Structure 1
């Protein structure tokens, strides 16, 4: 005779069944999340931000989603990555500069993520997400801070960037914590990093799907950081198209930005950097060299866009595109290093053994319509193209919309925590952790106002800024403060420091309080090779 199960045995089983069903439903309801970070991509380098470079896949994401006009980074690669991953300012995370460690007496400059932060991967993994990353890590691997110890279930990463091909001198890969030979059987033959990151990202997504979990993929590209390298056939398509020169290209992009509605037509284009020679003064040989450099850069960006298309197509084939939030941004403005002369080294510039830098002339066009570049806190150095797409989460009425409220890379963690329904803890692994500094950007998906109560701050290599509403106080090392009304003058041509002393004083006080609170330190090694703003602005705009 069968024995009837006791009621006290049935109840726990029913509870367990209910909980499993609940969490399975919760996992299906929450979106998948992909954060794509480009490296050294300027504000005007995508078609949907004014470029002539074909970027149809990113343009399509913008048409099906939202394009930010005022999205900001930290002005440099390591600090932007630290801020994105932790949701606090880079100094608080331990990477106030780059990966050099200044020692325990300088906690904001240890060159590695500290243990008083929680990463987006740790946060979302704790909430039931499958977490993966591919690409450039650059937040402390030499010091032992690695993705597989900071919340990522799967990773194919490079400790830093500086390569595109497997035979590049800086190419170094780790697969789930295991160092790989660049010709390892796990890797495609003759791989190109832009494609490799996407390929492995989709492989990791397949694992998440098989485990029936929502996924986070952090896809951190090398492109279009130097040394600029791309397949020869792709470079060839652009050769000769830039013989008109950098000043003409910059003006064309500016006119397209106005036509797109990206920028206010009343914002004047700043004068071209006087340290860069006029294009017409260059020799034919020099023009051909710079044309080739820009052709390589354009090829790198179009290949980046192709990889975005491969990713979106892969999501569509797997049936997960509609419930996947994709955020695309850049870590800083266009790169003007080492000056207008750029770099053009190697027997075959653009190949895996060459070293090509964009240079200052083309960086002027990359950062259109703004002043300055990577490293710096005028708008050209800190403004990113930013696109967010999520078919199931963005009303169709918002498709193709411009979002003109200011947002910052520090806001990403808070945004993903809300969207992924992840609770932010007070402590992690036995350590008290810092509260997030950013705010959730989720309201913009529905066209609502953001609830930002604090200003946004910057400090990098002595270059500094604070943004509060329409007002921005900014100074490049070793300049004195300048004040701009970004609503009326986002290209920063009219310094109002004398006309608005009370506004300037309030912002300066807020900045000084923040500077101390986050552990920033005075900087005395800055370089002023870029140019003198006040001198340049006194020149006639032609």
Structure 2
């Protein structure tokens, strides 16, 4: 389904009215794409979460909130590559996390920033990149006029020398330091004081405030609330009653993120740009289970890196006063692949060849589209209520602490397990938590969906680099190997 119909028909009352659909602008709007990092579907109060997020909630109320939105992968790097390129990242072999690699999104990919620059926008990126550190793959090489942030997957929120922080150990963050993963202003290393979430907000506001006769495109990719889990005593103080240090720190980090989004939106209003600024907010994937229960993907099952709804179904909202009617909630299935054609439409540019999404301003297709995912040998797809998960079998499981204690591997075999693969089928209308595998009851649906996947997969290429992490766990009582 395309999303214009959702914008017009999926209000809380469910009424269908073309008057509610967004209007393609006569003038090109400013565009802000805000990406949160590892933010769970159930973390925001707008989605029923237990952490108060009044500013993000207000952004959702000012436009449309999607409750069936998907990232293109359940882990950071490939998810961002799909969002930025508008193509499923397997088309260029990008299936796995970038961890200490000289690899990434090819420089010849057309990014959303390149489309905006083509339309004479000034293009700025603030925050986490994580789609390539090799020469030619950095933000300044991929369509951005300016960059303030870091290239890898994580960095400390505070300078390494900061004392008195409250810290919750999640295992993989032990090696994260500013020295190893520095902040860059363009290509120059800097080490700003204070919480990097606040610093990124400050830099975003500077982009908004810059005087120019050209519209701006801002890609604001916060690293919050991704590990390391750390905050100041003052930030944690409102959550002192929570008995878990993980939960206290996580809530503080989400609160700082929420305040940052509020400051960005307030600055847009202060500058009188509210009715000429399109804002999209999304998370890159679901939240992880190494946060010791601090985050939530409820009511979904699974976590970051899982082929379940909790891995890649994400909070997503879009606001543009005067063009998108406020107070809408859409149940339509949308994807971060839709960002590219939406931004192309807003900037009055042609959709790049190979783009796979649907513009959120276009009428929906007559036939609902399937969505597909692949992570090396594992793959899954959703068509209507049906979701087919095909994942490697394994003969053992391991605890998360065992996984986090392993060194990063030089490369894992990327093929189908010698034990074969499981096919699991879920009816998400009846079983949104994916608790009941019904593949044995519907072999004809399994066969049809497998055929759909095989046809779609012909346009993917082999992995450009191998996986370096695996997790042997259980899904619906079946032992599975996840590779990412």
For residue 142 of structure 1, report the CA deviation from its aligned partner: 3.4
* Shift in alpha-carbon separation, 1:500–1:386, aligned structure 2, 3 A: same
Give the Cα separation in 2 of the matches to 1:59 and 1:312: 12
2:188 to 154, 161, 179: 179
- Residue of structure 2 in register with 1:55 after alignment: 53
For residue 231 of structure 1, report the CA deviation from its aligned partner: 2.0
For residue 377 of structure 1, report the CA deviation from its aligned partner: 1.2
- Residue of structure 2 in register with 1:203 after alignment: 206
- Residue of structure 1 in register with 2:83 after alignment: 84
**Structure of greater Rg:** 1
Instruction: State whether structure 2 residue 355 is matched by structure 1 residue 436.
Output: yes
* Shift in alpha-carbon separation, 1:321–1:450, aligned structure 2, 3 A: farther
RMSD: 2.5
Judge conservation of contact 1:38–1:329 (CA < 8 Å) in 2.
yes
What does 1:244-323 align with in structure 2 at a 5 Å threshold?
Answer: 291-323=244-276
For residue 520 of structure 1, report the CA deviation from its aligned partner: 4.3
Question: Greater helix percent: which structure?
Answer: 1
- Residue of structure 2 in register with 1:329 after alignment: 282
Question: Greater strand percent: which structure?
Answer: 2
1:500 to 424, 428, 442: 442
For residue 442 of structure 1, report the CA deviation from its aligned partner: 2.0
- Residue of structure 1 in register with 2:298 after alignment: 368
2:374 to 442, 459, 470: 459
What TM-score do the two structures reach when normalised by structure 2? 0.79
- Residue of structure 2 in register with 1:98 after alignment: 97
* Shift in alpha-carbon separation, 1:240–1:526, aligned structure 2, 3 A: same
For residue 514 of structure 1, report the CA deviation from its aligned partner: 2.5
Instruction: State whether structure 2 residue 389 is matched by structure 1 residue 474.
Output: yes
Give the Cα separation in 2 of the matches to 1:529 and 1:299: 31
Judge conservation of contact 2:125–2:218 (CA < 8 Å) in 1.
yes
The 3-state SS of whatever aligns with 2:438 is: coil
Judge conservation of contact 1:94–1:114 (CA < 8 Å) in 2.
no
- Residue of structure 1 in register with 2:476 after alignment: 533
Whose RCO is larger (CA < 8 A, sep 6+)?
2
Which deviates more, 371-380 or 137-146?
137-146
Q: Which runs of 5+ in 2 are unaligned?
A: 1-23, 161-176, 394-420, 480-484
- Residue of structure 2 in register with 1:515 after alignment: 457
Judge conservation of contact 1:27–1:213 (CA < 8 Å) in 2.
no
- Residue of structure 2 in register with 1:406 after alignment: 333
Judge conservation of contact 1:458–1:464 (CA < 8 Å) in 2.
yes
- Residue of structure 2 in register with 1:46 after alignment: 44
* Shift in alpha-carbon separation, 1:425–1:414, aligned structure 2, 3 A: closer
Give the Cα separation in 2 of the matches to 1:374 and 1:406: 20
Judge conservation of contact 1:27–1:214 (CA < 8 Å) in 2.
no
The 3-state SS of whatever aligns with 1:237 is: helix
Give the Cα separation in 2 of the matches to 1:526 and 1:199: 35
